[in-house]
Every structure is written in structure tokens, then in C-alpha cells.
Amino acid sequence: MFDQARIVGAFESPRRKTDLHPFELFREVVDGALADAGLTRAEVDGLCVTAGDVAEGGSSEDVIEIAEYLGLKPTFFDSTDVGGCSAIYQAGVAAAAIEAGLAEVVVVAYAACPRRYPFYPPITWPIGPGAHEMPYGYSSPSAYALFAQRHMHQFGTTPEQLAQIAVVARANAALNPDALMREPLTVADVLASPGVSTPLRKLDCCVVTDSGGAVVLARADRARDLARRPIRILGFGAQVTAVHFSQQADFVTTPGAVTGARAFGRAGLSPADVSVAQLYDAFSVTPLLALEDLGFCAKGEGGPFVESGAIAPGGSVPINTDGGGLSSNHPGKRGVFALIEGVRQLRGDGPGHRVPDPQVSLVHGIGGFFSAAATLLMGND
């Protein structure tokens, strides 16, 4: 799909708790990814960030704030905020910019420190459409719980099947020295954890960490001379749908159904070709819906598919190999970490479980309350 763009660098901060200002974390991961690629800030002409929430340090002109902090004056930039999948979307946009000759070296970075700056702005304002929604108390757990509840009603999905997704993530995190949660976890542990919003329990929900990460994309002819083997983007798709609960289509289908089809279609690949998948796990139900919507199993079959062991190491599609948001890190938006782990798996240096000889690495995320999705397929050059 993209002949000219390659992923040439990736870096995840080992931090999970910090007193640093988020902009310092942005600096750390941008420099880390550039060093990984064998590049310097002077060679960067494109910058993609999402930094407009308090925990991310910025405001409405966040990309300008980060550029200023890093001493960059990029001629290609993006600060699209579509929630957790923003960085995955931005990687696709950055590749398109390189393809079009708008940029040669683009950094996609994200960092946030929600532990010190925990204010989460409302998803919409209580005026206009939001006047009929926000008074009811929107929250991420409740939004995802509405989907989980409907899926259980319609397809018989069980709390045990959802818990199994958390168990797989924890087993992978146990191998990752930087993961926040590494102690062994069982299905019974998940079911015994305190309730948050039915049917989701605390261990169905992601961790909250101060974290940052960045990837670097470069034009293919530059990539050839850099430090790491370049990675190709084979396919990409993205979509936004709706932000309010009343506007959701059916509470069992996510925009992944569209973004997966677009990504696989452009790549000329199918789910059977995927060696390893990072499926954004803000909550246990999220990867289950992704498995269905991306076509790894039929709609409604996510529970039995998970039970079969397909998503665990050795299965047909190991997921969230570094421990994911459920066990490794989640600072508010996790798309950049899914990108980084997707790259690490192809390079063979993932910190958690390593899938042997991967050919196609899938990275998929949703954003907001299943309001957006982005899917990206990558492979070694």
C-alpha cells in the first residue's frame, strides 16, 4: 500500500510512574525512537502527537506546543485526537504524507502522566446533542460495559471468557520487565475483583500508568541506510462513527469491522496471514470485539474463540504479547504502544512473549467509546 514509507524506529519508555511533566516524557521517547533509528532531531520534518488533554500536558494547539518544546518546526504535522487509536491513525497518515512527498522523516509520539494530572475532560459538552447524554454520567468503564452487556445477552458470552483475555495479557506481561502488573492471574482472580460497571470488574479494566512511546517513519531510500531493518506498512484503514451512547449502531459491532476490511483489502491479506496481533485492550471486551470485527472469528463467536486458546502463545493469533493495556501500561491512549510492540515482534525483540518468525504483524485500536478505529498491517522489508 505504501511504497515509499517505512517504519525505522520505535521506543517505549520503561517508566510506569513518574513525576516528570508529560512534555519531558515526550522528549524522552522522541529522542529514544530517533536514536533507535540512527537519526537526529535535525532530520525530522514531520511530527504527529496527541497532547491536548491535561494529563498529556497540552491544550488545543498541542502539536505546536510539543514542536516548540522539542525545538522542531515541522512542515508536516497532525494532532488528530480520536482517543486511544490516535497514534495508529497518525502512523497511516504519516505514511501517506511520506508517500505524497510532504515529509521525509516523521515522528509519531505519545506520552501522558495521568497519575499526577488525572483530570479527564468530558467527552462532549452538555449543550447541543451532549445536553441529552452527559447529564447521565459518561465514563469509559460504563461505555464498554454497555457493549459487554449486550454481547452477553445476544451471544451468551460469559464473564469467564472476558476474564481469559486478561489472563493471557498477564501471562505475557509476566515476561516483560517493564510491565506494571506481572504477578500470576487466574480467571477466578478476575471474577473476584471489585465490580466497576456491570458486567466489567476491576481486572477487566486496563491499568493506569505514566507512560510514553514513539515511532519514526522515513522515506524508503533514507530507511535503507539507517540502524534497523525497515518495516513496511502493508495495509491501513481508519474510521470514526459516533461519540454518544444513543447513536451507537448495535453495541456488538465496532468500527473495526470497516477498518479491518480496508486494511486487509489494501494489503491483499486476510486474518489467516496474521502472525501476531496487538488488539487494543482498554477493557477485556475490547479485544474480543476486535477478533470478531477483524474477521478472526464470526460475529458472536469471540468467547469460544478466546476459550480455544487461539490468542495465547502458540495459538493461531497470539495477542497483546507485551502484556497490553490490561497488564503493561495505559496512560490514557495506548495506540503508540500497540505500534511499538507490533514493530518489536517483527524485529524479534519484544519484551514479553515473542512469536517465532512472524511475517505479518497487525496493530489495531479503537478510540473513545468505540467511536473510532484504526488498523495497520506491517511486515519486514
Partner 1 sequence: MLAPTPVETPHDKPYWDAAREGVLLLAPGGRSPGWGSDGATDPAVWRRSAGLGRVFTYTVVERSFYENVPAGTILAVVELDEGVRVTAHVIEAADGIAIGQRVRARFVDRDGMPLLVFAPDDAA
Phi, then psi, of 269 in degrees rounded to 5: -125, 170
Q: Binding partner 1 by CB under 8 A: which of 30, 108, 146, 174?
A: 146
**List 59, 247, 270, 308, residue binding partner 1 (CB under 8 A):** 247
> Which of 141, 256, 302, 324 touches partner 1 (CB under 8 A)?
141
How many C-alpha atoms does 143 have within 13 Å on its Cβ side?
24
Q: Work out whether strand 5-12 and strand 211-219 pair parallel, antiparallel, or are unpaired.
A: antiparallel
Do residues 201 and 242 lie in contact, with contact meaning Cβ atoms separated by under 8 Å?
no
227 touches partner 1 by CB under 8 A? no
Residue 251, interface with partner 1 (CB under 8 A)?
A: yes
Q: Should residue 131 be labelled a site residue for partner 1 when binding is judged by CB under 8 A?
A: yes
Which residue in the set 41, 116, 244, 299 belongs to the binding site for partner 1 (CB under 8 A)? 244
CB of 153 to partner 1, least distance (A): 5
45-104 residues in contact with partner 1 (CB under 8 A) are none
Note the Cα 16 to chain centre separation in Å. 17
The residue from 194, 225, 356, 357 that contacts partner 1 (CB under 8 A) is 194
β pairing state of 361-367 and 372-380:
antiparallel
Residues 6+ apart with CB under 8 A from 184: 170, 171, 174
Any idea which residue has 511475517 for its cell? 359
147 binds partner 1 (CB under 8 A): yes
Q: Using CB under 8 A, which of 19, 60, 101, 137 touches partner 1?
A: 137
126 is a site residue for partner 1 (CB under 8 A) = yes
Of 256, 349, 352, nearest in space to 299 by CA: 256
Helix (H) or strand (E) holding 170: helix 159-173
Q: Specify the length of the chain in residues.
A: 381
What lies within 8 Å, CB to CB, of 64 at 6+ separation is: none
Name which of 41 and 116 has its Cβ closer to partner 1. Answer: 116
Residue given cell 521525509 in the structure block: 104
Comparing CB distances to partner 1, the nearer of 159 and 379 is 159
- Minimum CB separation of residue 251 from partner 1 in Å reads 5
Exactly one of 153, 268, 270, 298 binds partner 1 (CB under 8 A); that residue is 153
Counting contacts by CB under 8 A, is residue 132 touching partner 1?
A: yes
Q: Which is nearer to partner 1, 73 or 132 (CB)?
A: 132
Minimum distance from CB of 372 to partner 1 (Å)?
19
Q: Which is nearer to partner 1, 150 or 347 (CB)?
A: 150
Q: Cα dihedral angle (20, 22, 27, 28), rounded to 10 degrees? A: 50
122 or 177, CB closer to partner 1?
Answer: 122
Residues whose CB is less than 8 angstroms from the CB of residue 80 and which lie 6 or more positions away in sequence, other chains included: 50, 86, 89, 90, 93
- For the segment 325-364, give every residue that binds partner 1 (CB under 8 A): none
Residue 20: how many CB atoms within 10 A of its CB? 17
Which window, 136-144, 177-185, 281-289, 298-306, contacts partner 1 (CB under 8 A)? 136-144
Q: Total residues at the site for partner 1 (CB under 8 A)?
A: 37
For binding to partner 1 (CB under 8 A), which residues are involved?
A: 122, 125-129, 131-139, 141-142, 145-147, 149-150, 153, 194-200, 202, 244-248, 251
